[in-house]
Amino acid sequence: MYRKLNIALVSAYDYALPSGVNNHIENLAAQLKSIGHSITIFAPSSNPIPQKDFTPISNSVGIPTNGSIARISLSLTSFTKVKKILNQNNFDIIHLHEPFAGLVPLAFLQHSKSINIATFHSLRDSKFNSVFKRVKGAKLVNNYYKKIDGRITISTASKKFISDHFDGEFEIIPNGINISEYSQSVLPIKEIQDGMTNILFVGRMEKRKGLKYLLSAYGELKWDYPKTRLVILGSGPLDKETNQIISSRNLNDILLVEDVTNSIKMRYFKTCDIFCAPAIGNESFGIVLLEAMASGKPIVASDIPGYKSVVENNKQGILVPPKNESAIASSILKLLNNPILCNELGQNGMAKAKEYDWTIIGKKINNYYNEFLYKKVV
């Protein structure tokens, strides 16, 4: 029996926009509520959100980072608003997600008298690392860091990154997935159940996602295996280089589906035959890998630290060197010619994905909270 807690979940990122961190918070909130806790979510927001347990703190601005655009708050009014909120509420736990991304998490750290837990989600590039090493030495940043009681990272890769910059113990608790959502009742996409072998890519149209390497690999395969189809689920326009690859190799049969809902995305996972994740780096985890595994699909993925924490080579998928279109092509070819291997990798993936169910991950985080509550009492 768990003691009922009053918990604040704080996101650094604009809550009106989809993101891996915000999705993590939404699922964590649902699990903590199911245990019996009272949950309030705080974050910057560019638009009103009709959600009873959500309180916006400030607007957001787009900051280029990690090959993407992070929408965080740089508004100094965050400190005044957060101070008022904390004076009016008695939170047992304040759980900050990305505590040094923008001013909203820092405002909570500055005014908090609660137990402060921080989850470090991201993995940054070498340019960011060199800047971060200089910044973290500043007295102000260290003062904020000292106010963090418990530290969670989502993978070995993210733990290595943050422990290179800060001292202290870090608990690895991975991202989760709702296994029940990927059940046999998920309806396939009938339009692509036409005898073609569907290779699926899911991700934003960013260079670090490595789509151009998959396109080149697909271009190698297509003419020898005309009954294959590449399905791309993503947001954002294709860049000039990607369009050139499509045009030069005459890959006009690619199916591009933009801005799909989560339920539609699950249907594409259900329907595809092979899932490919060719990211070139800076991935701290790989939630799309879990989604493919939960759907029972064989995977071809880059051999990068964040992905290796999820997929074991030749067990749930085939890991290939990043930026290597020939290795991607040969691995897809291996799966095309070996349905028994596809089934074996898919079954292994389904079994492993169950370890990441949110019912398990939520309890691990709740138990981590209780460690610090116990220390406070003692």
Mean pLDDT score of the chain:
91
> Which pLDDT tens digit goes with each residue over 155-177?
998 998 888 888 899 999 999 99
**Domain covering 179-356: architecture:** 3-Layer(aba) Sandwich (3.40)
The DSSP result for 319-359, as a single string, is EE-TT-HHHHHHHHHHHHT-HHHHHHHHHHHHHHHGGGBHH
Tell me what the mean pLDDT of segment 46-61 comes to: 92
Return the pLDDT at 130: 45
| pLDDT tens digits, 260-272 | 888 999 999 999 9
List Cα–Cα distances, 35 to 121, 172, 358, 359, in angstroms. 24, 21, 12, 10
Q: What's the confidence (pLDDT) of residue 137? A: 54
Q: What angle do CA 166, 171, 175 make, to 5 degrees?
A: 110
Q: Please check the confidence at residue 47 and state whether its pLDDT lies above 70.
A: yes
Q: Is the pLDDT of residue 320 over 80?
A: yes
Mean pLDDT confidence for 7-30: 95
What's 289's DSSP letter? H
Please, which pLDDT band fits residue 295 given cuts at 50, 70 and 90?
A: very high
Confidence of residue 205 (pLDDT cuts 50, 70, 90): confident
290 has a pLDDT exceeding 90: yes
Give the residue-averaged pLDDT of 342-359: 98
Lowest mean pLDDT among 63-67, 90-94, 292-296: 63-67
Domains 6-176+357-377 and 179-356 share a fold: yes
Mean pLDDT of 189-211: 93
Q: Is the pLDDT of residue 18 over 70?
A: yes
* pTM metric for this prediction: 0.90
Q: Is residue 274 within 8 Å of 298, Cβ to Cβ?
A: yes
Query: Per-domain residue ranges for the chain?
Result: 6-176+357-377, 179-356
- 6-176+357-377 domain in CATH 3.40.50.300? no
Average pLDDT over residues 345-365: 98
Q: What is the H or E stretch that residue 24 is in?
A: helix 20-35
Q: What is the CA radius of gyration of the chain?
A: 22
Element holding 244 (H helix, E strand): helix 240-248
Query: Is the pLDDT reported for residue 207 higher than 90?
Result: no
Tokens representing 335 are: 């799966």
Cα separation, 357 vs 366, in Å, equals: 14
